[in-house]
């Protein structure tokens, strides 16, 4: 049984946080496009960012801020323009964004972190941003998480949000998160953004270590299309407002907090994978028997990212050969005679040998899993940041807990890992073929 419970409130569920999201005119579609998260007090800040050599101005800005001082009060995110590959003017736009917000909040610009999402090569529409920041600050609320979650998305069909609560030192401690991402998802820390808030007190180095490990087990273990973005950012704040004793080293309380942080990140990561552009179902690849966790995750992510595997899942085709091939090219040594593959409850391949199985029943399992793995309709975005009319409607209610399960064992090692992805449908090409035209 988990040591925490799910609660409402997203990033404003932890004590001492406000959030807001508005339409500032950054997106041609007229959808919400400017979001803000603010801690009532200075918070410990940690971040994990894209490893791409082509980076958005906000990524370099945040890295520099966190290296200089691992503290922050606010996270500002614009949607509509990625402000990546925009040269020195893009850098100045990012700096001005922080300065404008700092003045409105009456805090230091060094206490502000930035994120952007949208089309690469497009600068932020600064006139719209300048006009929007006062309105954004004016609408900050201790219940504003949903509006912030709605203002950071682009091609996403739905918002992604979660909050969990546990007890540390006999006091409630909460972690909340929101995220966006649908296409260009293959993080190396896609267009992927995630913001996490926590009201525990944690030392800066430990909070960063926790976040990095949580990222590896969540956002770095998902894939939609194999494309890493210029803007990938995972930012986490911990403000200590729960009034629990400071956690400064690993131990029972630190492990409990990190487990809850990982659970928040995994929920958001799976929601991103399920909302993959054109996707009809979520896939979970479970790998056991590797020599360590890293090797197991590498095999799992290779399978989840295989275009052939993804296409077979979309076609409801239990083609285990594609799974075996993907595992074999993952760059992790194992003996073929130790390989086992299951699809749901169907054992397809055992000890390096193919097995007879009910192909029609296995296909029916894939159809049922897809039918049960549906998206919520409480927030459906029909237009992305470029005013493309993405016809991805009529999807009935939220489920990220019924994925297609692919279980692979590669030996007798203690390493186990998971990765999440989605199927590859015709609609993915439709959505991306004319993205800027």
Domain ranges in the chain are 5-274, 282-433
What the block records as the tokens of 185 is 């998802």
* Separation in Å, CA 431 to CA 113, 227, 258, 300: 31, 15, 37, 26
CATH number of 282-433: 3.10.20.340
Cβ-contact 298, 415 below 8 angstroms: no
3-state secondary structure (DSSP) of residue 321:
helix
Q: Cβ atoms within 10 A of the Cβ of 117, count?
A: 32
pTM, rounded to two decimals: 0.89
Residue range 5-274 forms a domain whose CATH class is alpha beta
The catalytic residue positions are 191
- Which pLDDT value is given to residue 379? 35
Q: How many angstroms separate the CA atoms of 184 and 270, rounded? A: 15
- Which pLDDT value is given to residue 191? 55
Cβ-contact 38, 105 below 8 angstroms: yes
- Which pLDDT value is given to residue 102? 98
- Which pLDDT value is given to residue 184? 64
Instruction: Round to the nearest angstrom and report the end-to-end CA distance of the chain.
Output: 50
Q: How many angstroms separate the CA atoms of 402 and 37, rounded? A: 31
- Which parts of the chain have pLDDT scores under 50? 1, 190, 376-399
Cβ-contact 223, 419 below 8 angstroms: yes
- Which pLDDT value is given to residue 293? 96
Q: Cβ atoms within 10 A of the Cβ of 252, count?
A: 8
What's the pLDDT tens digit per position in 227-263?
Answer: 678 899 999 999 999 999 999 999 999 999 999 999 9
- Which pLDDT value is given to residue 432? 77
Cβ-contact 218, 142 below 8 angstroms: no
**Under 8 Å CB-to-CB from 386, ≥6 apart: which residues?**
28, 119, 435, 436
3-state secondary structure (DSSP) of residue 244:
coil
What the block records as the tokens of 123 is 């600068």
Give the mean pLDDT of the chain: 90
Element (DSSP H or E) covering residue 407? strand 404-409
User: Nearest-CA neighbor of 191 among 203, 202, 182, 200?
Assistant: 182
């Amino acid at each position: 049984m988990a040591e925490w419970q799910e609660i409402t409130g997203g990033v404003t569920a932890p004590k001492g946080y406000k959030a807001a999201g508005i339409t500032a005119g950054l997106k041609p579609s007229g959808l919400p496009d400017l979001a803000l998260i603010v801690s009532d007090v200075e918070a410990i800040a940690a971040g994990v960012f894209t490893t791409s050599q082509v980076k958005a101005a906000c990524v370099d800005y945040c890295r520099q801020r966190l290296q200089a001082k691992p503290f922050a009060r606010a996270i500002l995110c614009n949607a509509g323009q990625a402000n990546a590959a925009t040269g020195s003017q893009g850098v100045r736009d990012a700096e001005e964004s922080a300065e404008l917000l700092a003045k409105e909040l009456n805090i230091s610009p060094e206490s502000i972190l930035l994120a952007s999402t949208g089309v690469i090569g497009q600068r932020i529409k600064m006139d719209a941003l300048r006009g929007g920041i006062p309105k954004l600050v004016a609408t900050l609320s201790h219940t504003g998480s949903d509006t912030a979650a709605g203002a950071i998305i682009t091609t996403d069909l739905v918002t992604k949000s979660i909050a969990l609560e546990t007890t540390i030192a006999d006091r409630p401690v909460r972690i909340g998160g929101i995220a966006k991402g649908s296409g260009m998802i293959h993080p190396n820390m896609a267009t992927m953004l995630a913001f996490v808030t926590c009201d525990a007190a944690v030392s800066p180095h430990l909070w960063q270590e926790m976040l990095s490990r949580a990222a590896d087990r969540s956002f770095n273990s998902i894939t939609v299309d194999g494309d890493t973005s210029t803007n990938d950012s995972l930012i986490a704040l911990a403000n200590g407002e729960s009034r629990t004793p400071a956690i400064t080293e690993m131990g029972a309380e630190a492990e409990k907090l990190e487990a809850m942080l990982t659970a928040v990140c995994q929920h958001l990561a799976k929601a991103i994978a399920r909302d993959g552009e054109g996707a009809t179902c979520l896939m979970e690849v479970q790998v056991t028997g590797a020599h360590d966790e890293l090797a197991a995750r590498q095999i799992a992510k290779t399978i989840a990212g295989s275009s052939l595997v993804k296409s077979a899942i979309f076609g409801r085709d239990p083609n285990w050969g594609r799974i075996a091939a993907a595992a074999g090219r993952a760059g992790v040594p194992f003996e073929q005679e130790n390989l086992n593959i299951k699809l749901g409850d169907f054992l397809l391949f055992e000890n390096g040998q193919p097995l007879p199985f009910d192909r029609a029943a296995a296909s029916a399992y894939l159809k049922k899993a897809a039918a049960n793995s549906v998206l919520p309709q409480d927030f459906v975005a029909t237009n992305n940041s470029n005013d493309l009319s993405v016809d991805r409607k009529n999807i009935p209610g939220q489920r990220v807990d019924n994925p297609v399960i692919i279980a692979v064992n590669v030996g007798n090692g203690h390493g186990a890992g998971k990765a999440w992805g989605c199927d590859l449908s015709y609609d993915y090409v439709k959505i991306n073929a004319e993205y800027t035209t």
